[in-house]
Every structure is written in C-alpha cells, then in structure tokens.
Amino acid sequence: MSDRLDRRDFLKKSLAGSAAGAFALSFEERALLAQASKKPAPAAAADSAGDMPMGQLGKLKVTRLIVGGNLTSGFAHSRDLIYVSGLLRQYFTEAKVFETWELCEQCGINTAILRLDEHVIGLITKYWNERGGKLQWIAQVKITPDDLSQIKQAVDHGAVGVYIHGGNCDSFVDGGQVDLLAKAVQLIKKQGVLAGIAGHKVEVPIACEKAGISPDFYMKTLHSLRYWSANRQPENDNVWCLTPEKTIDFMKTVNRPWIAYKVMAAGAITPKDGFRYAYENGADFLCAGMFDFQVREDAIIAKNILSAGVQRQRPWRT
C-alpha cells in the first residue's frame, strides 16, 4: 500500500507543480490528476484469497472474474498509441507474468483466458510444473475451413476449455459459414473440454442460436458507450461493442453462460463502472486484462459488486 501512496503523491506533485500550471495540463493529465487525488478504496472484508464468487461452466467451478491474456502476451488495444504493445512485451517478462498470475490466485481468481501460441504454452506449462500454479486455462484458438488443428493442440497442452476467436467467428458469420462453427464446437466437445464461441458482433450468438449450435458458453463483448471517443470508427478506437443495448436484449433470451470481455473498452472505462455495467446487464463472468498492480484492486471491486447483490434482469445462467 505504501508504494501505491508514494506513486499517488508523486503524480499529484509532478502534475500540479508543473511550470505551466493546471491550465496547461492536457486532457489525459487532468484525468490522471483527478485519479491521483482520490483516496484508495478500503480493502474491507472482501480482500481475502478464497472468497471470489464462482459460477459453473460445465463441470468446472470458475470465478466470476477471469484474468485475460492480451496484456501478458504483449497485445494492447491502445487506439493510436503505437508503442504500447512493444512496451507490454518489455514489461511482461516471464517473471512478471508469473507474478501476475500468482497475484490472481492469491486474490481468488482461478481461471485465465489465454491465446494459443508457443509463447503461452511455454509460460503456462512452466507456471504449472515449476511454480505450482493452479490457474485453469481456457484457450483462444483460430480455425480455418481446412484447419481445426489448434483445438487439439490446446487440449494436448492442458486447456480445460477452448473457444473460437471473436474476430474469427465474426468473419465466418458474415461469410455465411456458421456450419464451420458448429463443426468446431463438436470437435472441441469430443476432446472432453468446454466449447465456446466468441464474437464482437451480436450477430454471432444470434446466428449460432438460430442454427441450433450448442456451445457450453459464449464470449461476447460488452461495454457502455459512455466515454469520450465512443463514436469514432472501431478500427481507430478499438470499440468492440458497437451495439450494447442489442447485445443485452438478445442475451436475455440465451440460456447459456456468457463471459463478457472488453468490458473496459480498452481502458476508457474504469473497472468499477465497467464491471458493474457488465454484471448488471447479464454477464455471468467477466474476462479482464490486468497488470500485476491492478489485480488486487480489480478483485476487490468485483467481489464488492457481487457481494452487495447485483440488480439483473437476466438470471445467472450457471
């Protein structure tokens, strides 16, 4: 906690004491200064290792907050800040990734959603075998009409669930290839693990439900449009839930578990607001990318929202 206070004090003094003064501060600097002036939220009783609320995905117990893998893999939806992904790859060394995952487990988070590649396979295998880690791995894979091999590769390396990448699914639905998603779900289930379908577009779960595909869960983006750049083009702003109200309304009709992702709109929405919006509007689980220094606070936010009782129109689907 002392480190956090030191950073806050440093930021307040550095920004407020700049030669140009407060009137010369940029939009971003004013936002940072406002954040720095806030007192840290009290840890309260929710700050303990084993009390993160859980739900059921198939036979698995899964915490309602799941750690994502984009940051630890060095991928950032950072709008026009072209240096951020490179910065992430420098920051998230092997040791830092392990430290982050260990913090997740200490805070009660028991599942990670990670991409499938050789880098991640090496990390998660070493984390389990040499660090004694227990995180459950749900793997994100990509498929083509002629190649479903990543599904078996993920299972062979210890994934307890596999889902098809959201961009992949968007493209197949747009191209009228929903049958390929059905084939992939069947193959995943044959491997004895959870099968999921992801999508940035609500048309993905709509098409899958219409076709009678039976994934064990959906991953669908969800965030509000209440932030400054929400009306920009998605390729510039990384807005991945362009129709949140349509998503909310449709998912009320879906009986399968729903993991919401992009809930903070690439860092434009605070965890407190993003988490609450997603839980209240029907998500059963959240996937959130977290730096090591965010894990504890994000876990407390999720626990406190859930322990206070969430006002939902969509019943919990687990």
For residue 226, the domain's CATH number is: 3.20.20.100
32 vs 136, more confident: 136
Average pLDDT over residues 194-211: 98
**249 and 128, same structural domain?**
yes
179 vs 42, more confident: 179
**114 and 16, same structural domain?**
no
**120 and 3, same structural domain?**
no
Spatial distance between the Cα atoms of 63 and 65, rounded to a whole number of angstroms: 5
Q: Is residue 217 part of a domain?
A: yes
**7 and 117, same structural domain?**
no
Residue 113's CB is within 10 A of a number of other CB atoms, namely: 25
**50 and 19, same structural domain?**
no
**79 and 189, same structural domain?**
yes
Q: Is residue 275 part of a domain?
A: yes
Instruction: Please tell me the predicted confidence (pLDDT) of residue 41.
Output: 43
Instruction: Please tell me the predicted confidence (pLDDT) of residue 8.
Output: 46
pLDDT tens-digit series, residues 104-151:
999 999 999 999 999 999 999 999 999 999 999 999 999 999 999 999
What domain count does the chain have? 2
**158 and 239, same structural domain?**
yes
Q: Is residue 318 part of a domain?
A: no
**70 and 27, same structural domain?**
no
Q: Is residue 165 part of a domain?
A: yes
**226 and 191, same structural domain?**
yes
Check: CB of residue 236 under 8 Å from CB of residue 80: yes
**72 and 9, same structural domain?**
no
Spatial distance between the Cα atoms of 74 and 37, rounded to a whole number of angstroms: 30
Spatial distance between the Cα atoms of 185 and 146, rounded to a whole number of angstroms: 15
Convert the chain into a string of H (helix), E (strand) and C (coil): CHHHHHHHHHHHHHHHCCCCCHHHCCHHHHHHHHHHHCCCCCCCCCCCCCCCCEEEECCEEEECEEEECCCCCCCCCCCCCCCHHHHHHHHCCHHHHHHHHHHHHHCCCCEEEEECCHHHHHHHHHHHHHHCCCCEEEEEECCECCECHHHHHHHHCCCCEEEECHHHHHHHHHCCCHHHHHHHHHHHHHCCCEEEEEECCCHHHHHHHHHCCCCCEEEEECCCCCCCCCCCCHHHHCCCCCCHHHHHHHHCCCCCCEEEECCCCCCCCCHHHHHHHHHHCCCCEEEECCCHHHHHHHHHHHHHHHHCCCCCCCCCCC
Q: Is residue 108 part of a domain?
A: yes
Q: Is residue 313 part of a domain?
A: no
Q: Is residue 90 part of a domain?
A: yes
Per the structure, the complete domain to which residue 33 belongs is given by 1-40
Tokens of 199: 């999508």
Place of tokens 């805070």: 107
Check: CB of residue 190 under 8 Å from CB of residue 164: no
**51 and 198, same structural domain?**
yes
Instruction: Please tell me the predicted confidence (pLDDT) of residue 233.
Output: 62
pLDDT tens-digit series, residues 155-173:
999 999 999 999 999 999 9
Spatial distance between the Cα atoms of 67 and 109, rounded to a whole number of angstroms: 7
pLDDT tens-digit series, residues 257-270:
999 999 998 888 99
The percentage of the chain sitting over the pLDDT mark of 90, rounded to a whole number, equals 69
Residue 234 binned pLDDT confidence (cut-offs 50, 70, 90): low
**233 and 221, same structural domain?**
yes
Residue 262's alpha-carbon distances to 16, 155, 165, 302, in angstroms, are 32, 25, 13, 15
**CA atoms 12, 7, 93, 54: torsion sign:** negative
Q: Is residue 6 part of a domain?
A: yes
Spatial distance between the Cα atoms of 71 and 69, rounded to a whole number of angstroms: 6
